[in-house]
Amino acid sequence: AMGEDLMRYSRKLKHDFAAIVNGTFRTTDLFTDLSNGEILVIFTNTDCDNAKVAFTRLNDSLNHLLKKPVKIEYALLDLARDNERLEALWERLN
Protein backbone atom coordinates (compact mmCIF):
# COMPACT_ATOMS: atom_id res chain seq x y z
CA ALA A 1 0.00 0.00 0.00
CA MET A 2 2.82 2.40 0.84
CA GLY A 3 4.47 1.71 -2.52
CA GLU A 4 1.21 2.42 -4.31
CA ASP A 5 0.80 5.69 -2.41
CA LEU A 6 4.33 6.71 -3.37
CA MET A 7 3.69 5.87 -7.03
CA ARG A 8 0.43 7.83 -6.97
CA TYR A 9 2.16 10.82 -5.35
CA SER A 10 5.00 10.63 -7.87
CA ARG A 11 2.56 10.60 -10.81
CA LYS A 12 0.62 13.52 -9.32
CA LEU A 13 3.83 15.49 -8.75
CA LYS A 14 4.96 14.90 -12.36
CA HIS A 15 1.51 15.92 -13.63
CA ASP A 16 1.46 19.06 -11.45
CA PHE A 17 5.02 19.97 -12.49
CA ALA A 18 4.11 19.58 -16.17
CA ALA A 19 1.05 21.80 -15.65
CA ILE A 20 3.21 24.46 -13.98
CA VAL A 21 5.80 24.34 -16.76
CA ASN A 22 3.09 24.54 -19.42
CA GLY A 23 1.50 27.48 -17.59
CA THR A 24 4.81 29.30 -17.13
CA PHE A 25 6.36 28.97 -20.55
CA ARG A 26 4.84 29.82 -23.91
CA THR A 27 4.04 27.28 -26.61
CA THR A 28 6.91 28.76 -28.64
CA ASP A 29 9.43 28.04 -25.87
CA LEU A 30 11.20 24.72 -26.03
CA PHE A 31 12.17 22.74 -22.96
CA THR A 32 13.56 19.31 -22.33
CA ASP A 33 14.80 17.29 -19.40
CA LEU A 34 18.53 16.65 -19.58
CA SER A 35 19.69 13.32 -18.20
CA ASN A 36 21.32 14.88 -15.11
CA GLY A 37 18.06 16.29 -13.74
CA GLU A 38 18.54 19.70 -15.28
CA ILE A 39 16.05 21.27 -17.64
CA LEU A 40 17.08 23.14 -20.77
CA VAL A 41 14.72 25.92 -21.83
CA ILE A 42 15.09 27.73 -25.14
CA PHE A 43 13.07 30.94 -25.23
CA THR A 44 12.15 32.43 -28.57
CA ASN A 45 11.98 36.19 -29.05
CA THR A 46 12.76 36.78 -25.38
CA ASP A 47 15.46 38.87 -23.77
CA CYS A 48 17.23 37.86 -20.57
CA ASP A 49 15.10 40.13 -18.37
CA ASN A 50 11.87 38.45 -19.51
CA ALA A 51 13.45 35.01 -19.14
CA LYS A 52 14.25 35.90 -15.51
CA VAL A 53 10.58 36.82 -14.99
CA ALA A 54 9.55 33.39 -16.30
CA PHE A 55 11.95 31.62 -13.94
CA THR A 56 10.68 33.69 -11.00
CA ARG A 57 7.11 32.63 -11.86
CA LEU A 58 8.24 29.01 -12.12
CA ASN A 59 9.97 29.22 -8.74
CA ASP A 60 6.92 30.82 -7.08
CA SER A 61 4.60 28.18 -8.54
CA LEU A 62 6.85 25.34 -7.34
CA ASN A 63 7.01 26.86 -3.84
CA HIS A 64 3.21 26.92 -3.79
CA LEU A 65 2.91 23.35 -5.12
CA LEU A 66 5.44 21.84 -2.72
CA LYS A 67 4.44 24.07 0.20
CA LYS A 68 8.10 24.67 1.01
CA PRO A 69 10.82 26.99 -0.25
CA VAL A 70 12.51 25.87 -3.45
CA LYS A 71 15.39 27.67 -5.09
CA ILE A 72 15.78 27.30 -8.83
CA GLU A 73 19.26 27.88 -10.17
CA TYR A 74 19.58 28.91 -13.78
CA ALA A 75 22.03 30.41 -16.23
CA LEU A 76 21.06 32.54 -19.19
CA LEU A 77 22.76 32.70 -22.54
CA ASP A 78 21.53 35.17 -25.14
CA LEU A 79 22.33 33.54 -28.47
CA ALA A 80 21.15 36.54 -30.47
CA ARG A 81 23.21 39.01 -28.46
CA ASP A 82 26.28 36.83 -28.09
CA ASN A 83 26.10 35.75 -31.74
CA GLU A 84 26.94 32.23 -30.65
CA ARG A 85 26.25 29.31 -32.89
CA LEU A 86 23.84 26.69 -31.62
CA GLU A 87 26.49 23.99 -32.13
CA ALA A 88 28.79 25.81 -29.71
CA LEU A 89 25.99 25.92 -27.13
CA TRP A 90 25.44 22.16 -27.37
CA GLU A 91 29.18 21.58 -26.94
CA ARG A 92 29.18 23.69 -23.77
CA LEU A 93 26.17 21.81 -22.37
CA ASN A 94 27.75 18.40 -22.89
Give SS3 for 75: coil
Please say if the pLDDT value at position 41 is more than 80: yes
Nearby residues of 65 by Cβ (< 8 Å), 6 or more positions away: 16, 17, 20
What pTM was computed for the model? Answer: 0.71
pLDDT score of 84: 59
Residue 86 contacts residue 79 (beta carbons within 8 Å): yes
Quick one: pLDDT band at residue 51, thresholds 50, 70, 90? very high
